[in-house]
Amino acid sequence: MRPKLIHTVLAVSIGLVLAGCQTASVKPQQAPQEQAKADQINAQDLAKWRATHLNQQVKKEPEQAKDLWDLTRHHLELEPTIDQPRVDAVLAEYRRNDSFVRHASDRANLYYYFVLGEVLKREMPAEIALLPFVESGYNPLAVSPSHAAGAWQFIPSTAQLFKLKRNWWYDGRQDIVASTNAALDYLQYLNDRFDGDWLLSLAAYNCGEGCVGRSVKRNQRAGKATDYWSLRLPRETQRYVPKLIAMARLVDRADEYGITLPAMPNTPYFEMVDIDSQVELIKAAKMAGIDLELMKKLNPGFRQWATDPSGPHRLLLPSGKGQQFQLALSKLPASQRVTWTRYEIRSGDTLSQIARRFDTTVEVIRKGNKLSSNRIRTGKTLLIPTRSSTTTLASNASTQQVHQVRSGENLWKIAQHYGISADQLADWNQISDSRSIQPGQNLILYPDSSNPG
């Protein structure tokens, strides 16, 4: 482990909070596998671990450094002691496609101070803060074909085990605060399970606790070494840990590799403010003096045009905007926080028909009107939360499209067809090697936006 800097800096202003934007983009098929499935995690073991470990976590403040990259370098711990060809191969891919690293770093700029701070407070290796680069390109809206979502790529069953709330309004997997704390809890659990071996823990985050455990036992029975590099693991897991180590090496030796990393100051990008109850995101953005796009980027857990009426009742805002927002919010009548439409029930109406008409769900209408069943009466009035016209226009400004790769196509041809750059297309799909696309593969693109993240 490298010697740590000894000067302390201001503490991260965001506490541990579980729970936390709008419609998700789709994570490409080439992206890494989602982490362990729920049936590979022993729920009783997890509960026992929570009771004995979570309250014992050591909380330390981030240390002073000229920027977050420098702070990261001083806490890297996982570099192999001998050359590993798998790491070298991935590093070569990253160097060929340095635009992926730059664009992912631009996205990470909003969240990295918080994530690295939480990692260091738990005395974890700084490489853990780089894991979302591997999982999602630091895109909290990323969704895999297997329905893993968020910067840390939780599948629904694992998200439930780690208490990440999910409903029509909100997905905690895409909330950077909630998902980061859940992911770090999960990784700490795995690290205890594998006796402090971080490489085995990371492999288990990718393919599952049972997958790694069985491989370890298989090698033990055969009298073979049981370190990560000696195990027979799924192909994706064999590349997963090398991807993280290669990313760490790239950060550590950026100058040597001719990579220019975007500026990442050692200061918090956001602060957390309480809102007490539901509010429309566009109204919150105006009160904070920021645009709706930035509001959504900081609060990607909110999937609709407003926050979840059942919480979490908090927003992340750029540092320094909290006081202005709180003052404006205190002057906004509760009745004006969310726009409601009054709808008179007509003969033949059903709740499901009304929900489809207003682009909402039966559950939302029932909760908003305190209905105990789906039975409704003609002539009665329902209150239905609806997005304002401004929000609707903003949400449609950048429409996601899916392109299926045909035989003979390459990234340049596809990008030219849609009027975008090949670098953008590669970045949106976390493609580090442009030669790796295959016929039948689905690519995600945003023709109307230069940066969907």
What is the DSSP secondary structure assignment for residue 302, as one 8-state letter? B
CA 378, 381, 385, 386 dihedral sign is positive
Question: Is residue 158 predicted with pLDDT exceeding 90?
Answer: yes
The model's confidence at residue 398, banded by pLDDT at 50, 70 and 90, is very low
Question: Is residue 239 predicted with pLDDT exceeding 90?
Answer: yes
Listed in sequence order, the DSSP H helices in 208-305 are: 209-221, 235-252, 254-257, 281-288, 292-298
Chain mean pLDDT for the chain: 83
Structural fold of domain 340-386: Membrane-bound Lytic Murein Transglycosylase D; Chain A (3.10.350)
Mean pLDDT, rounded, for 130-139: 96
The model's confidence at residue 16, banded by pLDDT at 50, 70 and 90, is very low
150 CB-near residues (< 8 Å, 6+ apart) = 136, 140, 141, 142, 171, 173, 174, 175, 179
Q: Give CA separation, 252 vs 50, 72, 127, 165, in Å.
A: 34, 8, 11, 36
Kindly give the pairing relationship between strand 381-385 and strand 340-344. antiparallel
Higher pLDDT, 118 or 403: 118
Mean pLDDT, rounded, for 112-129: 98
Active site amino acids: 135
Domain with CATH 3.10.350.10 in the chain: 340-386, 401-445
- Amino acid 42: pLDDT: 62
Which CATH code, of 3.40.50.2300, 3.30.70.380, 3.60.20.10, 3.10.350.10, is assigned to 401-445?
3.10.350.10
Cα separation, 430 vs 98, in Å, equals 11
Three-state helix/strand/coil letters over 35-47: CCCHHHCCHHHHH
Mean pLDDT, rounded, for 134-146: 91
The model's confidence at residue 449, banded by pLDDT at 50, 70 and 90, is very low
215-235 per-position pLDDT tens digit? 999 999 999 999 999 999 999
Question: Is residue 380 predicted with pLDDT exceeding 80?
Answer: yes
Beta bridge partners of 444: 402
**Residue 239 in contact with residue 92, Cβ under 8 Å?**
no
Beta bridge partners of 445: 401
The model's confidence at residue 60, banded by pLDDT at 50, 70 and 90, is very low
Higher pLDDT, 146 or 10: 146
**CATH assignment, 38-257:** 1.10.530
418-444 per-position pLDDT tens digit? 777 777 777 666 676 666 787 877 787
Cα separation, 453 vs 187, in Å, equals 25
Least confident segment among 159-173, 271-285, 312-326, 332-346:
332-346
The model's confidence at residue 334, banded by pLDDT at 50, 70 and 90, is confident
Question: Is residue 20 predicted with pLDDT exceeding 70?
Answer: no
